[in-house]
Amino acid sequence: MANADVSGERLIAAARELRDRIDALPFSAPVTHVLNPLEYAWAPHEAYLRRFGHGSKRIVFLGMNPGPFGMVQVGVPFGEVNAVRDWMRIDAPAGQPKTPNPSRPVEGFACQRSEVSGQRLWALFAERYPRADDFFADHFVLNYCPLAFFDHARNVTPDKLPKGETAPLYAACDAHLRACIDALAPEWLIGIGKFAENQARMAIGQSHPEVRIGTILHPSPASPTANRGWAPQAAAQLAALGVW
């Protein structure tokens, strides 16, 4: 089992290393803006890692990258504002990006838009675990890539970037994921969506063969399947895997 205090500090050190390693990577059109919440929203991100990242976790969930009204605003993976503030009890100030995107301003916890993916994800967890501490005793949620990419107002996911630009990005994200798995020593790594599952398999499939890898449906409102009752579908997938 990972030492409770040491594991949290290892997550923080790994996040700092990832933040600095990817902060200056170049990206070309159609990307007009790149936001790094690990830089400008470090305070709430560190609070999340410090409060909930201690000890071993049986299950780690892995998302793709920040959403415009979630982690982009508050620095927490799938960071729907109400879930972070009211359920997790995290309310640390977020600053401003080095190169703000006028089409997607960072308002921090004052953001009035809800990140639907985060709302669905954390609502499922909060329904099963009314106390956040009870959920995080055995679970944790990470994002594979901490950067958010935009073509002005339009979200650009990492899988849509040129391979030449994703190679150094994915190398840094892979190293970060391996460091997190070392710190948390999970039994399961569950990709939230196929992209996260595939990246997980490539990053730790050989280095951590003891970790079982699975997937659940991504809660994005862009998915017609997810819009037909995402929570019961995801819960059924976790039950079928034997995770829940």
Q: In order of start, what are the domains of the chain with their CATH numbers?
A: 4-241 (3.40.470.10)
| DSSP H stretches of helix in 32-115 | 37-40, 42-52, 71-74, 81-82
Q: Please say if the pLDDT value at position 1 is more than 60.
A: no
pLDDT of residue 24: 85
pLDDT of residue 4: 54
∠ CA 36-142-18, nearest 5°, is 45
pLDDT of residue 15: 98
Q: What's the average model confidence in pLDDT over 100-129?
A: 97
Give the lowest-confidence range in 3-7, 121-125, 143-147, 210-214: 3-7
Q: What's the average model confidence in pLDDT over 38-52?
A: 97
In this structure, the number of other CB atoms found within 10 A of the CB of residue 32 comes to 16
What does the pLDDT look like over 178-190, one tens digit per residue?
999 999 999 999 9
In the chain the first and final C-alpha atoms are separated, in Å, by 21
Largest CA distance in the chain: 45
CA distance linking residue 74 with residue 77, whole number of Å:
9
Q: Please say if the pLDDT value at position 7 is more than 90.
A: no
What does the pLDDT look like over 129-144, one tens digit per residue?
999 999 999 999 999 9
Q: Please say if the pLDDT value at position 3 is more than 60.
A: no
Q: Please say if the pLDDT value at position 2 is more than 80.
A: no
Tokens at residue 106, please? 């960072």
Q: Where are the beta strands (DSSP E) in 171-217?
A: 188-192, 212-216
Tokens at residue 182, please? 């070392």
Q: Please say if the pLDDT value at position 120 is more than 70.
A: yes
pLDDT of residue 6: 78
In this structure, the number of other CB atoms found within 10 A of the CB of residue 107 comes to 16
∠ CA 26-27-31, nearest 5°, is 150
Task: Say what percent of the chain tops pLDDT 90.
Answer: 95
